[in-house]
Amino acid sequence: MFVLSAVVFACKTGKEDQKQQENEVVTSGYTSFGAKISDKDYLSSKDVLTKYQNLKAGDTINLKFASSIKEVCSKKGCWMKLPAGETEETIMVRFKDYGFFMPLDSNGKEVIVEGKAFVKEVSVDELKHYAEDAGKSKEEIAKITEPKLELSFEANGVLMKK
């Protein structure tokens, strides 16, 4: 069962590497990924947490906010986690249509993301997959036994500070 789950959730390979390079554009002070977005009129990560607190599972709102990357997928850069304010809570960011990825060495970098914010329930299999991608130990992965509500975000575009 886990093998099937790993196949279903495995990060894609191949042409996506080329997509990342094609979508990477350098703008003044930022490297841009995905759709072109501006570095103006964004919320702080503290303000975005307030927006999430008003969402229920199934709600979606458009947002642009700034944060720093806490964690990025260590296999492909196909997701990243951003801190939500000054709490331990993080926002799981994926990329629209799997159309671009973040560099594997981008932990700690400041970013501005624009897209759709929502709350979703994440299955145990998916949580284990993300833990595996993040390089967690087998013991840590084995402790994942229940689904959880997750602050989620689908980014159209990302600006990463140089």
Q: What is residue 3's three-state secondary structure?
A: helix
pLDDT score, position 28: 72
Q: Are 32 and 25 in contact (CB under 8 A)?
A: yes
**DSSP, res 11:** P
How much is the average pLDDT of 130-137?
86
pLDDT confidence of residue 27: 55
Q: Which amino acid is at 148?
A: K
37-54 pLDDT tens trace:
999 999 998 899 889 988
Average pLDDT over residues 132-151: 90
Confirm if 113 and 153 have CB atoms less than 8 A apart: yes
- What is the tally of structural domains in the chain? 1
Quickly state the pLDDT bin for 161 (edges 50, 70, 90): very high
- Element containing residue 15 per DSSP (H, E): helix 15-23
Weakest mean pLDDT among 103-117, 125-139, 148-162: 125-139
Give the per-residue pLDDT at 78.
Answer: 94
Residue closest to 69 by CA, chosen among 48, 79, 83? 83
Q: Please give the pLDDT value at position 149.
A: 84
CATH of the domain at 120: 2.40.50
Residue range 70-125, pLDDT digits in tens: 999 988 999 999 998 787 889 999 999 999 999 999 999 999 999 999 998 889 99
Q: Can you tell me the distance from the alpha carbon of 124 to that of 30, in angstroms, rounded to the nearest whole number?
A: 36
Q: Are 160 and 111 in contact (CB under 8 A)?
A: yes
The pTM of this model reads 0.75
Helix then strand count (H, E) for the chain reads 5, 8
CB contact at 8 A, 145 and 103: no
Domain span holding position 55 = 2-161
pLDDT for 11: 54
Which of 60, 56, 52 shows the shortest CA–CA distance to 87?
A: 52
3-class state of residue 126 by DSSP = helix
The DSSP output letter for 143 is T
